[in-house]
Structure 1
Amino acid sequence: DVCASFDCRLEEFNGETDHVHLLVSFPPTVELSRLVNSLKGVSSRYLRRDYPELARHYWRAQRLWSPSYYAGTAGGAPLDTLKRYIENQNRPA
């Protein structure tokens, strides 16, 4: 829903225990920082609601996600190659 509200498309998602990988297609008019902040905010609310036991992991900082993020461009790599890379990451536990 967040991606749709930004006119974006979530192509692939996966991650590891301490971070996630998102492959998102978005138009050049989208401010990346606003998109990332919205994805973090909405997902944090859903995760806190659905998994209250996560509180033991973030209780001191009172936040689920780090304020930082990394964004890179595909650089012309085929979309299938990027999807396979993300699919091969471990699912968050």
Structure 2
Amino acid sequence: MAARKGSHSVFSVHLHFVFVTKYRRKTITAPMLERLQEIFANVCIKTKCRLIEFSGESDHVHLLIDFHPDNNLSVLTGSLKSATSRIIQKEFSEHLSTFYRKPLFWSSSYYVASTGGAPIERIKQYIQSQEAPND
């Protein structure tokens, strides 16, 4: 992937995120996965980042993000998780109420790694290989 330019920098920072559902419950459906991708992409646009790849399974999601160094990593993570959680809870409340008594969605923990050690194409293939829910 090509480097990007800021006003005083040239950068190429790619991060692989994994977010898991609260209690690792298998709550994510195919329509939710599609909606999550839209929300994550919008948060990325607002933060000068780019969502390069996205997929997931019924209890977790993977994101590959072209990170802009103007961001604080923990603030970006919080924005990604809070925006998706808020919207998903609102739009899929009936479905989620069968799994959670309180308005919950993501676990408070997350995984993030710089992808500099592995070729980006390999990580993209790994994310694409996730077994997305069919319902």
| TM-score, structure 2 as length reference | 0.61
How far apart in 1 are the matches of 2:101 and 2:81?
A: 17
State the identity %: 45
Cross-structure match for 2:113: 72
User: Alignment length, in residue pairs?
Assistant: 92
| TM-score, structure 1 as length reference | 0.85
Say whether residues 1:44 and 2:104 are aligned partners.
Answer: no
8 Å Cα contact 2:89-2:104 kept in structure 1: no
Equivalent runs, 1:1-93 vs 2, <5 Å: 1-52=42-93, 53-60=95-102, 62-92=103-133
Worse-superposed segment, 69-78 or 7-16: 69-78
* Higher strand proportion (structure 1 or 2): 2
- 1:27 CA drift (Å): 2.0
RMSD value, Cα: 1.6
How far apart in 2 are the matches of 1:39 and 1:57?
A: 22
- 1:29 CA drift (Å): 2.8
Q: Deviations over 1:31-65 (max 9, x none)?
A: 111111111111112212221211222224x3211
How far apart in 2 are the matches of 1:44 and 1:4?
A: 18
AA aligned to 2:113 is: G
Secondary structure of 1:83's counterpart equals helix
- 1:77 CA drift (Å): 2.5
Alignment gaps of 5+ in structure 1: none
AA aligned to 1:58 is: Y
Secondary structure of 1:39's counterpart equals helix
Alignment gaps of 5+ in structure 2: 1-41
How far apart in 2 are the matches of 1:37 and 1:69?
A: 10
